[in-house]
Structure formats: structure tokens, C-alpha cells
Amino acid sequence: MAQPADTTIYGIYAREIINSRATPTLEATVILQSGYRGTASVSTGMAIGKFDCQELRDDDQNRFDGFGVKNAVNLINATISNALRGKPADDQSLIDKTMIELDGTPNKSKLGANTLLTVSHAVAVAAANARLTPLYTYLNAMYTQYHQTEVKRIPTPIFNIVNGGKHGAGNLNFQEFQIIPASNKTFPESYQMGVEIYRATQKILAFRNAGQSVGDEGGFTPNLFTNTDAIEIVLEAIKSSTYQFGIDTFLGLDLAATLFKTDQGYLIKDRAAAYTTKDFIQYLKDIHAKYRILYLEDPLEENDWFGWTAITKEMDKDTLIAADDLIATNKTRLERAIREKACSAILIKPNRIGTLSEVFDVIALAKKNDMKCIISHRSGETNDTFLADLGVAVQADYVKFGAPARGERVAKYNRLLEISTQLFTK
């Protein structure tokens, strides 16, 4: 790594920008004494549960339906900038600790997780720039202090092909129908595969007149009779391509099941009566037997701990049971999941927790306990590509950035292509 220029923070300037879902969000630029700078912006999810750290929004109904972030901008430009001025940008834990103490609440409700994360990421980008080193290399050196990790591969992408739930205007309950290239593929091979199967899906939907408009994460949002019909369509798309199902590519689902859990049980359009937890696990086992689902994200509701332990015990041998809303990238929830053997993989969404140091801490704990890690976007995104570098830096098993379409999604996949070229082209 090159000798760093002066990384002392000179100032921080924030702006209110707009994300991919027409909602305001934050962007901040950190300027160092040496003149180097780093910029970052944050995403927003649809699932914001009680275990998530809080975003700071203005609640001023006269602007952006209350979603403005002018107060957060002012906090960064004054309070946070004053607190961090003169501190070294390459001491990330000091930077994050200072902001966490300034906030002083368990869920970052005073300054907002969006406020802290924008600055936390921008500081890291500025420090990497000052060292004239790629961001993934800089982040890897930092992450190694939590868990020794060498950069050897690009994480396998999980591509969203069909969107349902709250992300799509169609009528499906499950949030994402995904394809997952085999882990022995190079990233360019996987990316090409994702694009070709995505395009094949579009042709099938057009042929069936089922609707080809896309949802928040770039997947198609058709109207179909059942959720399994969407699985069939993606499978048909794979079969119509040059790739072999079960060898080159696999299927995955993000059910986001909290959204269709009712007082009566899990209620989906595939059956009139709601399923009990036990019956729903059986339904998923039947789907798995038929379609060999490699990856099941949020198959059960975020507080159905008993069900999570049961499904992991019964299905983990052949399917990854991935916890997104269950853990909410929260260390205490992760510790419980480890104790109760409630899942075999964890989604890492930095804006659910608020600072880079805490993200590293959660990833290291998960990895030391043999959980697979998926670095994940949110449904409301910006063109920021920080997550691509983060995925490589911590050697995540998978990354999930949405469909291989729409600017804010492909910005991240394209950044992985660039990293792949830097790492593997001699």
C-alpha cells in the first residue's frame, strides 16, 4: 500500500439527493487536509422493522411528504463536521466511535443511522483515495483487523429476476425470484448469465402477455396465478438459454415472509387457507423437492424464532437459510441466531446498523460462526458502488444488488467487473 498523504479531516459537506424510488437521501463529501476527498450516499429499504437503527427524516409534510433530510444535512455540516475535524480519516474505529457517542442512543435515533453511515462510508473512501489505493484493498486491510481475510475471488452474485411483494406492482407475495450462478464461474461469466436469463425471462413474459414492467429492484413484476408460476417462468427462461439448470445456475427466493404473516398464519395466493409455521415449512420443502431451491431468504416471519430453528434443522443440508429481517444486521439478534441455530446465512445491510466498524464486527462474528454472508443493497438505492468494494474486501460469499438492469443496480455489478479486471487480468 502506498504511503498515505495527510488524512486529517478538514471538513464534511452533505447534500440532500434523490434515490431510485423518488425519495430524498443523503450524500456527503469528506475533504482531507491534503486535498483528497471521498463521497458516499445511502440507500433506504422497504422493510424497516423495530430492530433496525432509525433513519432521520424531517417529517415536514410540506416537503417530499415528510421524507426530506435537511435536518440530517445540517447535522453533518455542523455537529458531525465539527466533531470530526482534525481527526485522522484512516482511523475508522475512532471516527465511528466519535459519531456513536455523539448520537448516544441505542438505535441511532438522535442523529440517524442514515446520517452516520453516509459519513462513515465517505471517510473510508477519502482515506483510500489519500492512499492511492483501491477502496476494496483499503477496506480489506481494515477488515483483516477483525478477521484475517485475503482477497481471492469476487463474491457470487444473486440476481433478482422477478419482483413481488412490496417491490412490485404485480400480484405475487414473494419479494424476489432469483437466479444464482454456480460458484465456480468467474464474475464476467456470471454477469453474462444473469443478463441472458433476465432477457430470456422478458421474452417469455411478453409471449404470455403477463406484464414486463419492472419493480423497485429491476426485476419484472408480472401478474400470475400463483407464486410457483413465477418460479416456473424463471426456470423456463433458464431452460431456453444456453445454461444448464442445476449445473451452471440455481434458483433462489427472498420471501420477505413478515409481509404475508397474518394472525391466521402465512397467507399466500397459492392456497386459500393460511399455513401454520409447520405447514409452511412443509410447503417450502415440497417446493425445494421440485425446484432444488439453493437459497431461501426470510422464509419465515421476523419473530418466528421457533420456526427458523426448525427450518434450518430440516433444510439446511441442501438449502441456505438466509436471515435478513430476522437479524436486521443487528449483533444482538445475530448472537441469538447463532445460539438457536436459526439460520445458515446472513444478509448484511449497512444502513440497518449505521457505521462501517459495526458492519465489520457483525460480518466477522457471522463468519467465525460459519455463516455465509451476503452483502445486500436496499430497494431504494443510489448509484454509489461502495457495497461492491465491501463485498470483495470481506470476501462475502454472495452479493445481492438486484436485477442486472437499472442504473443503480448495474452500477454495483459493473464495479465488480472493474475489480475483477484489476484482480485477475495480468
- Shortest Cβ 379–ligand PGA spacing (Å): 3
128 lies in the site for ligand PGA, by CB under 6 A: no
Q: Give least dist CB 85 to ligand PGA, A.
A: 33
**Residue 325 C-beta: closest distance to ligand PGA, Å:** 8
236 tagged catalytic: no
When the beta carbons of 57 and 378 are compared against ligand PGA, the nearer one is 378
Looking at beta carbons only, is 10 or 386 nearer to ligand PGA?
Answer: 386
349 catalytic residue (yes or no): yes
CB distance 16 to 64 below 8 Å: no
Distance CA 146, CA 248 (A): 34
379: partner contacted, choices Zn ion, ligand PGA, none (Cβ within 5-8 A by kind):
ligand PGA
Task: Indicate which residue of 108, 185, 261, 349 is catalytic.
Answer: 349
CB of 377 closer than 8 Å to CB of 167: no
Contact at 8 Å (CB) between 269 and 227? yes
Identify the residue among 376, 382, 385, 395 touching ligand PGA (CB under 6 A): 376
Q: Which residues in this chain contact Zn ion in the complex, by CB under 5 A?
A: 254, 324
Stretch of 122-130, 146-154, 226-234, 375-383 lying at the interface with ligand PGA (CB under 6 A): 375-383
Rounded CA separation 199/285 (Å) = 29
Contact indicator for 233, 222 with CB cutoff of 8 Å: yes
Helices (H), 269-406: 277-291, 305-315, 331-339, 356-368, 386-393
Q: Which is nearer to ligand PGA, 287 or 326 (CB)?
A: 326
Residue 138 contacts residue 127 (beta carbons within 8 Å): yes
Cα separation, 263 vs 38, in Å, equals 48
Contacted entry of Zn ion, ligand PGA, none for residue 382, CB cut-off 5 to 8 Å set by kind: none
Give, as one character, the DSSP assignment of residue 63: S
Question: How many angstroms separate the CA atoms of 176 and 364, rounded?
Answer: 27
| Residue among 41 and 178 whose Cβ is closer to Zn ion | 178
| Residue 58 binds ligand PGA, judged by CB under 6 A | no
Active-site option among 55, 217, 297, 381:
217
Q: Which residues have CB under 8 Å from 123's CB, separation 6+?
A: 9, 30, 38, 84, 89, 92, 95
**Binder among 14, 47, 123, 405 for ligand PGA (CB under 6 A):** 47
Distance of CA 212 to the CA centre of its chain: 24
Q: What is the closest distance, in whole angstroms, from the C-beta atom of residue 170 to Zn ion in the complex?
A: 17
Cβ-closest position to ligand PGA: 45
Three cell numbers written together for 12: 464534511
Separation of alpha carbons 324 and 20, rounded Å: 21
Task: Please identify the residue of the shown chain whose CB is closest to the bound Zn ion.
Answer: 324
Q: Residues 5, 46, 102, 365: which binds ligand PGA (CB under 6 A)?
A: 46
- Could you tell me which stretch among 43-51, 58-66, 150-158, 288-296 binds ligand PGA (CB under 6 A)? 43-51
Question: Is 324 an interacting residue with respect to ligand PGA (CB under 6 A)?
Answer: yes
Whichever of 103 and 324 has its CB closer to ligand PGA, that residue is: 324
Cα–Cα nearest to 215, from 169, 161, 160? 169
What the block records as the C-alpha cell of 269 is 395466493
Cβ 356 vs Cβ 120: under 8 Å: yes
List residues binding ligand PGA (CB under 6 A): 45-47, 254, 324, 376, 378-379
Positions annotated as catalytic residues are 217, 349
